[in-house]
Amino acid sequence: MTVSELAASFDPLGPQYEDPYPVYARARREEPIFFAPRLDAWVVTRFADVDAIIKDPEGFSSVNSLRPLRSPYQASIEVLMTGYPQRPDHVTSDGEAHRRLRVPYSKHMTTPGRVKGSEPAIRKRADSYIDAFDGTVDLVSSYAAPLPLETAGDLFGFAGDDVALADVGSRSLFALATPDQTEAEEVEVARHVVAFQRRLAEYARDRHASPTGDLISDVVAALAPEDGPLTFEDEAQLVATFASTFGAAHITTADGIGSALALLLSHPDQWELLVAQPDLVPNAVEEALRFEAPIPAQYRLATRPATVGGVDIPEGADVLLLFASANRDEERYPDPERFDVTRKPSRHFAFGAGIHTCVGAASARLQMRVALQAIVERLPGLRLVPDQHVEVRRSLNVRGPLSLSATY
Ligand code: HEM
């Protein structure tokens, strides 16, 4: 196969990772689907092609959707073997197995009044963080990160120190086998994952014996309805879905809030517009999700030969769906590289699409809306500390600012 210069040099975690958008725009123009040797995967950049693949779950499996860029070190694998064996979760399963794992989550998250009912607690938290601001503040660690963490803690029914343990454990799960890690660092990360798994299993056993109506209780009741103690296999399956969902819930939403604030404050005209017209906040949330997707990419695996956008993709190939690129496709959005809070919201891939569409989208949107509303109302003079370099996480699957210094 001949590989173009664009495809040969494509390296999402290379120098382009902080601002990958110019490369994505070039790919959409020149070679919208290409094979990237560095990833050993076909990269899909246009809205229509991402849409076609994500809506064909039989032709494109999700088993590899979170494929890491490398294997973990042997020493980390040994630590992980002292915890629960990895089982497919809803994100990485297909067909009936996927449906069975997803339904209890989507049922819990769509129970009438549940998401809306969480709004006063979210607003109270947002206000309490703002009350504690003192002049110059890191908006990520003091605002964008704790709000979804505590909200996810409520959802799962975590008590006391378990929210902090779940924070470290879920971040560690996402950090396993990421680039730039030494063996010692990864072993430490693996230990946190195992501690988190064990605590999750204790919660599962506890809620199996005495349900409380939280997410864990409902999922345990649906996936392990039998009386009597949970089997080890039950626990392994429950732990796998709880661990990934907790991270999927708070890390992504924190990135969503952090990116929205970074975008607004680095576009002062857009910030001023929101201060003057706070009813634009829901619009601003959609625009921020479109412009900086917190999950910029996911893999799929071709289960049979396919032709997409005129390109032949062989059976067994890994396919990288670049949501972050599809969300800026000029064939779909006028002037797509412009961040514009007055843009009429339309469909984007920040929450995926098709049968794996995010079950927490309503909750994530609510948290982002409340977070922006509270800060726009209370700190209209907020501005970025000048000349700072806003570093984003170097990852294929999750994207957001690591810190954001602002003053008011
Ligand atoms: C801004 C915040 C969020 C973003 C950007 C986001 C994004 C996504 C995306 C792109 C997917 C699709 C994955 C795929 O196609 O393989 C997904 C799935 C999922 N999300 Fe979210 N999410 C967010 C917040 C949440 C929250 C608050 C929850 C709370 C429970 C949640 C739970 C899930 C679950 C359980 C799935 C798996 C669904 C399935 O595979 O059937 N997410 N999310």
Task: Give pLDDT tens digits for 113-131.
Answer: 999 999 999 999 999 999 9
Distance 250 CA to ligand 1 centre (A): 10
Which alpha helices (H) appear in 10-71, and where do they start and end?
A: 21-30, 47-54
Distance 232 CA to ligand 1 centre (A): 27
Q: Indicate whether 219 pLDDT > 90.
A: yes
For residue 68, what pLDDT is reported?
87
CA 135 to chain centre: 30
Task: Give pLDDT tens digits for 269-292.
Answer: 999 999 999 999 999 999 999 999
Mean pLDDT of the 35-43 span: 96
Mean pLDDT of the 236-240 span: 97
Nearest atom within ligand 1 for CA of residue 349? 10
Sketch the domain layout of the chain as residue ranges. Answer: 5-407
For residue 140, what are the CA distances in angstroms to 144, 148, 165, 255, 403?
Answer: 5, 11, 19, 8, 5
Distance 155 CA to ligand 1 centre (A): 14
Residue minimizing CA distance to atom 2 of ligand 1: 253
Nearest atom within ligand 1 for CA of residue 66? 16
Residue minimizing CA distance to atom 18 of ligand 1: 358
Give, for ligand 1, the residue of 90, 358, 395 to mutate: max count of ligand atoms closer than 8 Å to Cβ.
358
For residue 177, what pLDDT is reported?
87
Distance 361 CA to ligand 1 centre (A): 7
HSE-up of 252 (CA within 13 Å, CB side)? 25
Structural contact between residues 204 and 104, judged by C-beta atoms closer than 8 angstroms: no
Ligand 1-lining residues (CB < 6 angstroms): 62, 65, 90-91, 102, 105, 109, 245, 248-249, 252-253, 256, 294-295, 298, 350-352, 356, 358-360, 363-364
For residue 80, what pLDDT is reported?
97
Distance 153 CA to ligand 1 centre (A): 16
> Burial of 9 by CB count in 10 Å (0-12 exposed, 13-18 middle, 19+ buried)?
middle
Nearest atom within ligand 1 for CA of residue 148? 27
Task: Give pLDDT tens digits for 285-339.
Answer: 999 999 999 999 999 999 999 999 999 999 999 999 999 999 999 999 999 999 9
For residue 52, what pLDDT is reported?
98
Task: Give pLDDT tens digits for 45-77.
Answer: 999 999 999 999 999 999 999 898 889 999 999
Q: Indicate whether 374 pLDDT > 90.
A: yes
Nearest to 56 by CA among 48, 45, 66: 48
Distance 244 CA to ligand 1 centre (A): 10
Mean model confidence pLDDT for the chain: 96
Task: Give pLDDT tens digits for 71-98.
Answer: 999 999 999 999 999 999 999 999 999 9
For the domain bounded by 5-407, which CATH number is listed?
1.10.630.10
Q: Indicate whether 160 pLDDT > 90.
A: yes
Distance 8 CA to ligand 1 centre (A): 31
Mean pLDDT of the 186-196 span: 97
Task: Give pLDDT tens digits for 168-186.
Answer: 999 999 999 888 899 999 9
> Burial of 214 by CB count in 10 Å (0-12 exposed, 13-18 middle, 19+ buried)?
middle
